[in-house]
Structure 1
Amino acid sequence: MARTKEFDPDAALRSALELFWRRGYEATSMADLVAHLGIGRASIYATFGNKHDLYLKALDRYAEDRDPQLLDELSRPGPALPGVRALVRRFAAEAGSEELRRNGCFVTNTAAELGPHDPEAARRVERSWEQIETLLHSALVRARTQGELPGERDPRALARLLLVLLQGLRVTGKASGDPARVRDAAEQALALLD
């Protein structure tokens, strides 16, 4: 007879995500996970696999939680540029916040820590960035079609610029104590949409 789980796997995954997000992959040991999740090592392995598997599942959960918000912000009916501007300004505000200074962005952290040498993590980072770029591109195409964006502007190139800016805001915000730095950079990039 199979034993029933004595813990909520979803809650455990969210708890692992929080720990990995705060500490990073390398600085988080299995002993840390056992203590933080409050479940045994064997249960972690049976439910999630090894530490790397658990990390990738946490990264997937982070994307699942974040992506619908981006889709909502960039797909609203009506003018498209206000959504793009609001998204960039939100990233800048978050980058200047104390919480982001402590934790950063989980995807950006993964790109810096694991991306260069972990193909599975790098694929997930790339998938996340492709999703953001696609959403920005679609919004900018809509903006150009609706006459909000000058016709000579390249929506794909602008989407890529904004993606790189958003990731740069995350990194700079984590390392800098000057919120004006990220705010000013965001506003200069947004001026390219005029």
Structure 2
Amino acid sequence: MARPREFDTDVAVEQAMSLFWRHGYHATPVPRLTELLGIGSGSLYAAFGSKDGLYAQALKRYCDGLVAALDRDIRAGSDIRTALRGILIAMVTTDAVDRERGCLLVNATTERAAHDGTAEQARATMTAMESVLSAALHHARVRGELSSEHSPVELARFLITFIQGLRVMGQARVDRTFLESAVTGALKALD
């Protein structure tokens, strides 16, 4: 008879996400994970299948949160430009506060680009972000905030690409003034 699990897997995924985010997949060995989580390696493997399984759940949690926050923040803005500027400047601010951590999605994509599961999670997240942004841009166009010449899908894809570049530049410790100027320039695509 199997023993009941004695730890909260949701808490474990959250804690592991923080560790992977700070150190990356390869620099986070199983003994470090089990020590942080307060469990044995057998419990880790029983709950998640492997270190990779735990990483996949942690990355999915981060990505789901990223998309939910984008959706929430874009809906909170009074107009599309204000909402997008707020979102982008918040990213600049967050990256300036903790340059070592950066964006887990960017970190995962660069560290594990050849890993099918990581690449698929990145694609799924970008698709979800595109959906949120293109819907918001479509509504903005209907409200007269964007020219009818603009393609919401093309603008969404541009913004997703810009966001990922912005996150990389933040980790590269680029000056905040530079990044804020880049945000201003990117938003001109909406003119």
Q: Same fold (TM over 0.5)?
A: yes
Partner of 1:120: 117
TM-superposed CA distance for 1:139, in Å, is 1.0
Partner of 2:64: 64
Alpha-carbon distance in structure 1 between the residues aligned to 2:147 and 2:43? 56
Let me know the Cα RMSD of the aligned residues. 1.7
Alpha-carbon distance in structure 1 between the residues aligned to 2:65 and 2:8? 18
Q: Which letter does structure 1 place at the counterpart of 2:85?
A: R
Asked if the contact 2:133/2:156 (under 8 Å) is kept, the reply is: yes
1:193 to 1:77, Cα distance in 2 relative to 1, 3 A? closer
- Please tell me whether residue 173 in structure 1 is matched to residue 170 in structure 2: yes
- Give the number of equivalent residue pairs: 191
TM-superposed CA distance for 1:77, in Å, is 8.4
For structure 1, the residue ranges without an aligned partner over 5 or more in a row are none
The equivalent position to 2:104 in structure 1, one of 89, 106, 121, is 106
1:184 to 1:135, Cα distance in 2 relative to 1, 3 A? same
TM-score scaled by length of structure 1? 0.91
Deviations 1:26-81 (A, max 9, x none): 11111111122121000000011111111001111112333222111223586333
Alpha-carbon distance in structure 2 between the residues aligned to 1:149 and 1:93? 27
TM-score scaled by length of structure 2? 0.92
- Please tell me whether residue 155 in structure 1 is matched to residue 152 in structure 2: yes
Partner of 1:192: 189
1:177 to 1:80, Cα distance in 2 relative to 1, 3 A? closer
- Please tell me whether residue 3 in structure 1 is matched to residue 3 in structure 2: yes
List structure 1 segments (4+ residues) > 4 angstroms apart after TM superposition. Answer: none
For structure 2, the residue ranges without an aligned partner over 5 or more in a row are none
